[in-house]
C-alpha cells in the first residue's frame, strides 16, 4: 500500500498482462456461445486461436513460476535488478 501512488513497471506490466488475459477469456467465451447458437463453424477458429494463446501464456507463466520456486529465484532476482539498474 505504500507504493500505490508510484507503481513500478513490473506492477503495470502484470496489470496489463492479466487484463489482456481476462479480455481473451471473455472473447473466447463469446465466440464459443456464438458458434453454438448460430451453428457457424467459422466462429470456432478465432476461439481456438484465443484458447491456444491463453494456453501458451499460461504455460510460460507456469514455467517461470516453477523455475523461480524450485531454486532459481537468486538468478532471476539478479536479472530483474540488472534490468532495474539500467
> For the chain, what are the domain ranges?
23-85
Tell me which of 65 and 11 has the higher pLDDT.
65
List the helix and strand counts (H, then E) for the chain: 3, 0
Confidence of residue 2 (pLDDT cuts 50, 70, 90): low
Asked if the model's pLDDT at residue 16 lies above 60, the reply is yes
Q: Is 7 helix (H, G, I), strand (E, B) or coil?
A: coil
| Ramachandran assignment for 39, one of left (phi > 0), alpha (psi -120 to 50 degrees), beta (any other) | left
* Angle 1-86-84 from CA coordinates, rounded to 5°: 25
Q: Is 86 helix (H, G, I), strand (E, B) or coil?
A: coil
Check residue 26 and give its pLDDT.
81
Q: Please indicate, yes or no, whether the overall pTM of this predicted structure exceeds 0.95.
A: no
Check residue 43 and give its pLDDT.
66
Amino acid at each position: 500500500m505504500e507504493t500505490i501512488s508510484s507503481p513500478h513497471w513490473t506492477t503495470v506490466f502484470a496489470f496489463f498482462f492479466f487484463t489482456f488475459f481476462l479480455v481473451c477469456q471473455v472473447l473466447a467465451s463469446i465466440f464459443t456461445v456464438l458458434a453454438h447458437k448460430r451453428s457457424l463453424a467459422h466462429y470456432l477458429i478465432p476461439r481456438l486461436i484465443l484458447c491456444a494463446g491463453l494456453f501458451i501464456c499460461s504455460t510460460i507463466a507456469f514455467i517461470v513460476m516453477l523455475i523461480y520456486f524450485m531454486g532459481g529465484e537468486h538468478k532471476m532476482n539478479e536479472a530483474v535488478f540488472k534490468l532495474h539498474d539500467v
